[in-house]
Amino acid sequence: MQVPAHPVEHPAPPAYAAGAPVPWWLKLGVKLVLGALPVPAGAWRALGLRRHSFFAADPARLVAPLAGRAQRFADLAGRPPRGVLEVGPGAMVLRAPVAAALGFGPVWYLDVEDSAPRDLAPYRAAAEAARAAGLVPPDLSGCASRAEILAACGARLLVGGAEALAAVPDGSVDLVFSEVALEHVRRDDLAPLLQALRRVTAPGGLGQHAVDFHDHLGGRLRHLAFTPEFWEGRAVARAGLYCNRLGLSQMLAAFAAAGFRAEADSRLVWRLPPVPTGGAHSALGRAPEDDRICHATIEARPG
């Protein structure tokens, strides 16, 4: 795979990832208080909070991104991908009919919790979006459950961490991808996950991972000021605020340690690093140049 001599950098818009126009500390406090309440995560999502997959209802997001990933693999390998794995899909499991229409198969989805729709309408809407794009999705008319729809699409949802990938045979996945999911993997869990991805990735396989590096409450990099003891604790996890605070160079090093050759050839950068007063906590071990990068697309191939 040919990679550019210099990564392509795009300036981040001034209000990029700003979030709601509410003081950051207020948002943080509210999230921590709500997270302490004995309410299941699914109930918060039903109320419109802690939602994943914000574009799941957008027909334009159902076909084109998957088709683009398939084309990228085909450009490199000279053939379309077969086995495909998405990490952290959330509600985007509903794209299973699109994946089948593109010729993917088998298809695996790995997530730490089951937040895929159980209602059948979103899957049928995705099939219609594929049909409107000139593809031939599987016939879902006889399916009476989500399990039957996934089976008709040659897809399977795996719930858990890296250990759940034991269900995927060695070297069986041509294309692995994630969309702003890896930053939410806990620091101690990232290495086992990437090692598992290396095991299942086929020779000549491709990983495509979009990763956010900013605070997810709109604080830019304010979250870097907290101690590891607080940030890795239960309060942040319960509040749905957790991201692992790794910089791009640390993320690429983790891929390399797992046996991948990884490049971030497309990056979104801030003109000036928005570091908190006093800088990032020293225990994070971040490289200063990482503080410019708020988003990057990583491509990884077996080393």
Distance CA(133)–CA(115), nearest Å, equals 26
User: What value does the mean pLDDT take over residues 37-59?
Assistant: 61
pLDDT band (50, 70, 90) for residue 55: low
Tokens 């390998």, located at residue? 77
User: What pLDDT, on the 0 to 100 scale, is given for residue 42?
Assistant: 62
Q: Tell me, what amino acid is at 136?
A: V
Query: What is the number of other CB atoms lying within 10 angstroms of the CB of residue 229?
Result: 8
pLDDT band (50, 70, 90) for residue 52: low
Distances (CA, A) of 67 to 74, 102, 104, 184, 251: 10, 7, 10, 25, 26
Distance CA(238)–CA(256), nearest Å, equals 31
29 has pLDDT over 60: yes
Per domain, the residue ranges of the chain are: 1-48+213-303, 52-206
**What are the pLDDT digits (tens) for 169-204?**
999 999 999 999 999 999 999 999 999 999 999 999
E strands in the chain: 8-11, 84-87, 107-111, 155-159, 173-179, 201-212, 260-269, 293-302
DSSP character for 239?
T
Which class in CATH covers the domain with range 52-206? Answer: alpha beta
**The pTM is what?**
0.91
**What are the pLDDT digits (tens) for 114-124?**
999 999 999 99
Report which of 66, 141, 146, 148 is spatially closest to residue 100, judged by C-alpha positions.
66
pLDDT band (50, 70, 90) for residue 17: confident
